[in-house]
Protein backbone atom coordinates (compact mmCIF):
# COMPACT_ATOMS: atom_id res chain seq x y z
CA UNK A 1 0.00 0.00 0.00
CA UNK A 2 1.34 3.42 -0.96
CA UNK A 3 1.43 5.95 1.86
CA UNK A 4 1.01 9.66 1.22
CA UNK A 5 3.01 12.19 3.23
CA UNK A 6 2.72 15.93 3.57
CA UNK A 7 6.07 17.65 3.43
CA UNK A 8 7.16 21.04 4.65
CA UNK A 9 10.38 21.11 2.66
CA UNK A 10 11.40 24.51 1.42
CA UNK A 11 12.24 24.88 -2.23
CA UNK A 12 13.29 27.72 -4.45
CA UNK A 13 11.88 27.88 -7.93
CA UNK A 14 12.75 29.98 -10.94
CA UNK A 15 10.99 29.93 -14.28
CA UNK A 16 13.45 29.51 -17.16
CA UNK A 17 13.36 32.49 -19.50
CA UNK A 18 15.99 31.38 -22.01
CA UNK A 19 18.48 34.07 -20.99
CA UNK A 20 22.24 33.55 -21.10
CA UNK A 21 22.34 34.51 -17.41
CA UNK A 22 20.11 31.55 -16.48
CA UNK A 23 22.02 29.22 -18.80
CA UNK A 24 25.21 30.16 -16.93
CA UNK A 25 23.60 30.15 -13.47
CA UNK A 26 22.31 26.58 -13.80
CA UNK A 27 25.23 25.40 -15.97
CA UNK A 28 22.89 24.22 -18.70
CA UNK A 29 24.46 22.06 -21.37
CA UNK A 30 24.13 22.93 -25.05
CA UNK A 31 23.06 19.82 -27.01
CA UNK A 32 25.36 20.82 -29.86
CA UNK A 33 28.36 20.80 -27.53
CA UNK A 34 27.45 17.31 -26.35
CA UNK A 35 27.31 16.09 -29.95
CA UNK A 36 30.57 17.79 -30.96
CA UNK A 37 28.86 20.34 -33.20
CA UNK A 38 28.32 24.03 -32.70
CA UNK A 39 25.41 25.53 -30.82
CA UNK A 40 22.02 23.89 -30.73
CA UNK A 41 18.73 25.45 -29.58
CA UNK A 42 18.32 22.55 -27.12
CA UNK A 43 19.59 22.96 -23.57
CA UNK A 44 19.81 20.32 -20.84
CA UNK A 45 20.01 20.44 -17.06
CA UNK A 46 22.41 17.79 -15.76
CA UNK A 47 20.54 14.69 -14.53
CA UNK A 48 17.15 16.28 -15.26
CA UNK A 49 16.65 16.52 -18.99
CA UNK A 50 15.80 19.04 -21.67
CA UNK A 51 14.92 22.56 -20.52
CA UNK A 52 12.35 24.62 -22.40
CA UNK A 53 11.48 28.28 -21.89
CA UNK A 54 8.68 28.35 -19.29
CA UNK A 55 9.89 25.26 -17.40
CA UNK A 56 10.65 25.64 -13.70
CA UNK A 57 14.04 24.88 -12.21
CA UNK A 58 13.49 23.70 -8.64
CA UNK A 59 16.33 23.97 -6.12
CA UNK A 60 16.02 22.04 -2.87
CA UNK A 61 17.78 22.55 0.48
CA UNK A 62 20.74 20.51 -0.76
CA UNK A 63 21.18 22.73 -3.84
CA UNK A 64 20.01 19.95 -6.19
CA UNK A 65 18.16 21.11 -9.29
CA UNK A 66 15.21 19.38 -10.93
CA UNK A 67 12.84 20.38 -13.72
CA UNK A 68 9.09 20.73 -13.92
CA UNK A 69 6.85 21.93 -16.69
CA UNK A 70 4.80 25.02 -15.95
CA UNK A 71 1.63 22.91 -15.70
CA UNK A 72 3.22 20.43 -13.27
CA UNK A 73 4.57 23.27 -11.14
CA UNK A 74 1.20 25.03 -10.86
CA UNK A 75 -0.47 21.76 -9.85
CA UNK A 76 2.10 20.93 -7.17
CA UNK A 77 3.06 24.29 -5.68
CA UNK A 78 1.19 27.37 -4.64
CA UNK A 79 3.04 30.57 -3.86
CA UNK A 80 2.62 31.73 -0.28
CA UNK A 81 0.02 34.48 0.07
CA UNK A 82 1.18 38.07 0.54
CA UNK A 83 -0.47 39.82 3.49
CA UNK A 84 -0.09 43.18 5.25
CA UNK A 85 2.27 43.39 8.23
CA UNK A 86 -0.55 44.01 10.76
CA UNK A 87 -2.30 40.82 9.60
CA UNK A 88 0.95 38.87 9.95
CA UNK A 89 1.30 40.18 13.51
CA UNK A 90 -2.28 39.04 14.23
CA UNK A 91 -1.45 35.54 12.95
CA UNK A 92 1.75 35.41 15.03
CA UNK A 93 -0.16 36.45 18.15
CA UNK A 94 -2.96 33.98 17.38
CA UNK A 95 -0.51 31.10 17.05
CA UNK A 96 1.21 32.15 20.30
CA UNK A 97 -2.11 32.13 22.20
CA UNK A 98 -2.89 28.66 20.79
CA UNK A 99 0.49 27.41 22.02
CA UNK A 100 -0.11 28.79 25.52
CA UNK A 101 -3.80 27.97 25.84
CA UNK A 102 -4.53 24.91 23.69
CA UNK A 103 -8.28 25.38 23.36
CA UNK A 104 -8.15 24.83 19.62
CA UNK A 105 -9.91 26.67 16.86
CA UNK A 106 -7.52 29.64 16.68
CA UNK A 107 -8.25 30.42 13.05
CA UNK A 108 -11.96 29.91 13.64
CA UNK A 109 -11.85 32.21 16.65
CA UNK A 110 -10.00 34.92 14.70
CA UNK A 111 -12.45 34.83 11.82
CA UNK A 112 -15.64 34.57 13.91
CA UNK A 113 -14.65 37.37 16.29
CA UNK A 114 -14.46 39.74 13.34
CA UNK A 115 -18.04 38.90 12.40
CA UNK A 116 -19.64 38.46 15.83
CA UNK A 117 -18.05 41.44 17.56
CA UNK A 118 -18.11 43.66 14.52
CA UNK A 119 -15.37 45.61 12.89
CA UNK A 120 -14.67 49.03 11.49
CA UNK A 121 -13.59 49.74 7.96
CA UNK A 122 -9.83 49.45 7.69
CA UNK A 123 -9.22 47.41 10.88
CA UNK A 124 -8.03 43.81 11.17
CA UNK A 125 -11.57 42.42 11.24
CA UNK A 126 -12.40 44.24 8.03
CA UNK A 127 -9.36 42.73 6.33
CA UNK A 128 -10.13 39.23 7.61
CA UNK A 129 -13.77 39.34 6.49
CA UNK A 130 -12.89 40.68 3.04
CA UNK A 131 -9.94 38.31 2.51
CA UNK A 132 -11.08 35.19 4.39
CA UNK A 133 -9.62 32.64 1.92
CA UNK A 134 -6.27 34.43 1.86
CA UNK A 135 -6.29 34.75 5.67
CA UNK A 136 -6.97 31.03 6.10
CA UNK A 137 -4.20 30.06 3.67
CA UNK A 138 -1.76 32.40 5.42
CA UNK A 139 -2.71 31.03 8.86
CA UNK A 140 -2.33 27.40 7.79
CA UNK A 141 0.41 27.41 5.14
CA UNK A 142 2.55 30.46 5.90
CA UNK A 143 2.80 33.83 4.21
CA UNK A 144 4.96 36.62 2.88
CA UNK A 145 4.66 40.10 4.36
CA UNK A 146 3.74 42.85 1.90
CA UNK A 147 6.43 45.49 1.53
CA UNK A 148 5.40 48.89 2.91
CA UNK A 149 4.03 50.97 0.08
For the segment 29-50, what is each residue's pLDDT rounded down to a tens digit? 887 655 455 555 789 998 888 9
pLDDT at 124 exceeding the cut of 90? no
Split at pLDDT 50, 70, 90, the class of 7 is low
Give the mean model confidence (pLDDT) for residues 89-114: 66
Same domain, 64 and 90: no
pLDDT band at 85; cut points 50, 70, 90: very high
89 and 55 belong to one structural domain: no
User: By residue range, what is the domain housing residue 21?
Assistant: 12-76
Q: Is the model's pTM score more than 0.75?
A: no
Of 55-59, 67-71, 112-116, the poorest mean pLDDT is in: 112-116
* Cα 79 to Cα 73: distance, rounded to the nearest angstrom: 10
What is the end-to-end Cα distance of the chain in Å, rounded? Answer: 51
Answer whether residue 24 is part of any domain: yes
CB distance 29 to 65 below 8 Å? no
Q: Tell me the average pLDDT of the chain.
A: 79
Tell me if 4 is assigned to some domain. no
Degrees (nearest 5) of the Cα angle 21, 143, 97? 155
pLDDT: which is higher, 13 or 116: 13
State the pLDDT at residue 115: 67
Residue 25 β-bridge partners: none
Does residue 88 belong to any structural domain of this protein? yes
- Judge contact between 48 and 55, C-beta under 8 A: no
What pLDDT was estimated at residue 14? 92
Amino acid sequence: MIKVYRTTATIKAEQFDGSDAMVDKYELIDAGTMLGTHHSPELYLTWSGKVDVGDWIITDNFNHHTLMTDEEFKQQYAELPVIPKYVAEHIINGHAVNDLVPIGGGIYRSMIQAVVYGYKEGDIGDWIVNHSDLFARAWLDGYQVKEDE
